Amino acid sequence: MVTNLFRNLYYAAIAKYSASKKIGIFFTLTTLSVKQRMFKKASEPVHEVFFRYKISGSDYASLSYLYKEVFCSGDYFLKLASKEPVIIDCGANIGMATLYFKQLFPAARIMAFEANPNIYELLKKNIENNNITNTELYNVALYNEEKELSFFTGDDSGNLRGSVMQGRGRNNEVIVKAQKLSGYLRKIEKADIIKMDVEGAELQIIQDLFDEGLLQKADQYIIEYHHNIGGERPALSEFLRKFESNGFGYSIRAKFYHLKNFQDILLYFYKL
């Protein structure tokens, strides 16, 4: 428990908020830590309030993880020229990043995609319960083909690692509808930012945009790249070259503990 308190202090300290809000973040994280220990498995969705947002999640462990990843880490903190940006959220999960972007840019138009049908219901609930407007939700898997596709999750419907790749997901298989992001991009003038956390499918999604000549339709990308997924050959250099050949620069953030292990690599792409 002491370790959790120090960890919560760390996340509160790095969050890009005022001192008073940092105190609130610390108490929220501590409350989640206690509830996570008390209610390790939830038979129905759990609920919490973050910055006046009423959030429903599959369990307290996933709520705590998403809260730290999105609201505390600063990974998605943006400064955009437009006060009404177009933001595309690929892998929206329960909508935490969508709500965070709305906190930063209340007038933003957001298109949010989530493949997991169970998680999508929570996403929909969180958007509706907080009266979030100008937001479009799509229960599809983004891919480089339009077809019915296997999607893998854990035994619990709220698993955070749902993926079209079994090596990244788990053993529970559901069939979902796959669509191309290029089809949606053609319907808009441009996107200010595309955020992508799709547990391995980023390779296929970017391949689609590259093949269709649409990578430059977005000014910036924030992509969580999943490296060294079991059984898959390395493809990071090919992934980066697609952006390089389309006039993008990039920044990389990553860490690892053991050679050959799986890595989450955070990539920020911007036009040169």
pLDDT score at 200: 82
pLDDT in tens, the chain (272 residues): 657 888 889 888 998 899 999 999 999 999 998 888 888 776 788 999 988 999 999 899 889 999 999 999 999 998 898 999 999 999 999 999 999 999 999 999 999 999 999 999 999 999 999 999 999 999 999 999 999 998 888 666 556 677 777 766 667 888 899 999 999 999 999 999 999 999 889 999 999 999 999 999 999 999 999 988 876 788 899 999 999 999 999 999 998 888 888 889 999 999 99
Contact 114, 91 (CB under 8 A): yes
201 neighbors 165 (Cβ within 8 angstroms): yes
Count helices and strands in the chain by DSSP H and E runs: 8, 12
d(CA 193, CA 86): 7
Element housing 142 (H / E): strand 141-142
- The reported pLDDT for the residue numbered 6 is 86
CA 174 distance to own-chain centroid: 20
Count CB atoms within 10 A of the CB of residue 29: 24
Left if phi > 0, otherwise alpha if psi is -120 to 50, otherwise beta: which for 228? left
Predicted pLDDT at 5: 83
Inter-residue long-range contacts of 119-124, CB under 8 Å, 24+ positions, other chains counted: 119/58, 119/93, 119/94, 119/157, 119/158, 119/162, 122/45, 122/56, 122/57, 122/58, 122/94, 122/95, 122/158, 123/92, 123/93, 123/94, 123/95, 123/98
Asked whether 162 and 92 are in contact (CB, 8 A), the reply is no
Go through 245-270 and write b for each residue having 16 or more CB atoms within 10 A of its CB, e for each that does not: ebebeeeeeeeeeeeeeebebbbbbe
Residues of the chain with CATH 3.40.50.150: 74-271
Q: Give me the half-sphere count of Cα atoms (radius 13 Å) on the Cβ side of residue 56.
A: 15
CATH top class, domain 74-271: alpha beta
